Amino acid sequence: MRFKTKLTWADVTPEAAYLNRRQIMTGAAGLALGSIAGPAFAAPELGEPNSFEDITSYNNYYEFGTGKEDPARYAGKLTTDPWAVQIDGLVERPGNYDLADVLKGMDIEERIYRLRCVEAWSMVIPWNGFELRALLEKVGVQPSAKYVAFETVARREEMPGLYSPVLDWPYVEGLRLDEAMHPLTLIATGLYGRELPNQNGAPLRLVVPWKYGFKSIKSIVRITLTDKEPPTSWNKANAREYGFYSNVNPEVDHPRWSQATERVIGGGLFSAKQPTEMFNGYGDEVAALYAGMDLKKNY
Amino acid sequence: MTAAQTINGALRKLPIWPIYLIGALPPVWYFYLGLTGGLGVEPIKEFEHRLGILGLQMLIAVLAVTPLRNLTKVSLIRFRRAMGLLTFYYIAAHLAVWLFLDVQIAAQIWADIVKRPYITIGMVGFVLMIPLAITSNNLSVRKLGARWRKLHKLVYPIALLGAVHFVMLRKGWQIEPLLYLAGIALLLALRLPILRRVGWPMRPARQG
């Protein structure tokens, strides 16, 4: 199955308006839209994408600090070139893959997804990236593999938040293999046709649009195929509040706040909340993955 | 004349109304910033959090008045009522932002107060502040007499509730709210009668 529509962010927002709205857009933009293969997929009614400024100035990336503005302030120090990804575990061709080798032969598409944070806010983001499935097929998944584990880079000299023990570093996340192989599951390499900013998880970050944002692990340095459910950072920190699945679900509240509604970032001081959709609106595509599962227990 | 006496003499000459005037400004300033993009791309939470932190900071200042006087003899007690009322003003504004800009939905407000422990705790703290704010006038002090002093000891649990509310609302154990909690716990500990026995400077216990 293949999700394609003719819609791109440029259709939703005229380029002039988008440039105009963001004074921070500087010269080296290189809006290489021509080089981006294929139009995008957009499942739910998403509305207008958030501005480049929204997406790059309001981030949760605790390795750079717990404030929303900390990643934009400190992530510039992160070295993303050279970059390598260790791919190991139950794969046919394990190894330490250079970024160029990871990207080789990958079809970089544009995907407009809504990102729903577990903190009850959301943004609409025009990602560029490739399907994780393509990378997993490239390295060859052994038949015994059932899960995929991911790990974020952890360099104290470049990431000041690592001195604070909010989480057990490095940040780790995981997916069931069928979730990882789902065509919606993306490895993002850019947004708005530009290189992925460091605060958004450069150079490679996972995007799983039907799960809360913290599942979409940033700045990936390791991918491991396993036969056991891998540990995940927020689940280790507080299992009662953050489950392994963490599918967006308006009926299962976070113990400390409701998940029934969300605030769309960018609406200003008087912005209204909107109802949160099951699976963040991607239920038609992904509900079958969880057929027969009690999602109140497997939150 | 000691330095403390000189400072106290100078402080006595200061009027109190400028504290109310200057203290009233930050929420108005934040509101203006929120309208004009100065609070970032999610101004509602930012506005709400700044007001809450401002309230906690003013509460810490209120709690510091007595230990400061015991330690240095410098007395800010003339300004404490203004500081207390400003605390109430900041926390009332914090609550108003939560009600009208953040949650918005009436049914969800009540559900949150009942179901979410950190909101319950914050709400209890606010409710306890109301009688203190109402009795912050000379008439009440006269009429209530010794009971006024007893009533206003409520500020101690209020401060703890406020700090615990802050610690609980963050994801994970974060340093900043824990520092506020530690600061408030320290200021309360400095009032424990046991300290007098180890020679900590403290006024004699009052009658009644």
B170 contacts in A (CB within 8 Å)?
Answer: 66
What is the pLDDT, as a whole number, of residue B201?
81
Q: Is residue A137 annotated as involved in ligand binding?
A: no
Q: How far apart are CA B92 and CA B51, in angstroms?
A: 9
What is the pLDDT, as a whole number, of residue A295?
95
Interface list for chain B against chain A, based on CB atoms closer than 8 Å: 31, 34-35, 39-44, 47, 101, 104-105, 108, 111-112, 115-118, 168-176
Q: How far apart are CA B49 and CA A170, in angstroms?
A: 29
What residue ranges do the domains of chain B occupy? 3-197
The nearest CA of chain B is from the CA of A100 a distance in Å of 34
Q: How far apart are CA A247 and CA A213, in angstroms?
A: 10
What is the pLDDT, as a whole number, of residue B194?
85
Torsion angle in degrees (nearest 10) through CA of B68, B71, B74, B78 = 40
The nearest CA of chain A is from the CA of B142 a distance in Å of 43
Q: pLDDT tens across B191-200, in order? A: 998 888 887 8
Tell me if B41 and A266 make a contact (CB, 8 A cut-off).
yes
pLDDT(B16) > 70: yes
Burial class for B178, CB neighbours closer than 10 Å (0-12, 13-18, 19+): middle
Q: How far apart are CA A181 and CA A201, in angstroms?
A: 21
Closest partner residue to B116 (CB to CB) among A257, A269, A270 is A257
Q: Is residue A114 annotated as involved in ligand binding?
A: no
Q: pLDDT tens across B102-120, in order? A: 998 888 899 889 989 999 9
Q: Is residue A249 annotated as involved in ligand binding?
A: no
Q: pLDDT tens across B167-187, in order? A: 999 888 889 999 999 999 999
Question: 10 Å Cβ neighbour count for A18?
Answer: 20
Q: Is residue A223 annotated as involved in ligand binding?
A: no
Tell me if B44 and A57 make a contact (CB, 8 A cut-off).
no
The nearest CA of chain A is from the CA of B158 a distance in Å of 21
The nearest CA of chain B is from the CA of A54 a distance in Å of 6
Closest partner residue to B173 (CB to CB) among A58, A166, A273 is A166
What is the pLDDT, as a whole number, of residue A39?
44
Residue matched to tokens 């706040």: A257
B41 contacts in A (CB within 8 Å)?
Answer: 50-51, 53-54, 57-58, 265-266
Q: Is residue A59 annotated as involved in ligand binding?
A: yes
Compute the C-alpha angle A13/A128/A265, nearest 5°: 50
Under-70 pLDDT residues of chain A: 1-43
Tell me if A260 and B118 make a contact (CB, 8 A cut-off).
no
B105 contacts in A (CB within 8 Å)?
Answer: 261, 273
Tell me if B43 and A66 make a contact (CB, 8 A cut-off).
no
Give the best residue of B108, B171, B173 to mutate against chain A (max A CB count within 10 A): B171
Asked if residues B75 and B69 have their Cβ atoms less than 8 Å apart, the reply is yes
Q: pLDDT tens across B35-53, in order? A: 999 999 999 999 999 999 9
Residue matched to tokens 């998944």: A141
Asked if residues A242 and A234 have their Cβ atoms less than 8 Å apart, the reply is yes
Tell me if B170 and A57 make a contact (CB, 8 A cut-off).
no
What residue in A sits closest to B178 (Cα-Cα)? Answer: A166
Q: pLDDT tens across B48-96, in order? A: 999 999 999 999 999 999 999 999 999 999 999 999 999 999 999 999 9
Tell me if B116 and A256 make a contact (CB, 8 A cut-off).
yes
Burial class for B208, CB neighbours closer than 10 Å (0-12, 13-18, 19+): exposed
What is the pLDDT, as a whole number, of residue B202?
79
What is the pLDDT, as a whole number, of residue A10?
55
Q: Is residue A216 annotated as involved in ligand binding?
A: yes
Asked if residues A170 and A158 have their Cβ atoms less than 8 Å apart, the reply is no
R_g of chain A, CA atoms, integer Å: 18
SS3 of A175, please? strand
User: Domains in chain A, please, with CATH?
Assistant: 9-290 (3.90.420.10)
pLDDT(B166) > 60: yes
Q: How far apart are CA B62 and CA A185, in angstroms?
A: 53
Distances (CA, A) of B52 to A201, B106, B110, B113, B175: 31, 21, 20, 17, 17
Q: What is the ipTM of this complex?
A: 0.82
What is the pLDDT, as a whole number, of residue A151?
98
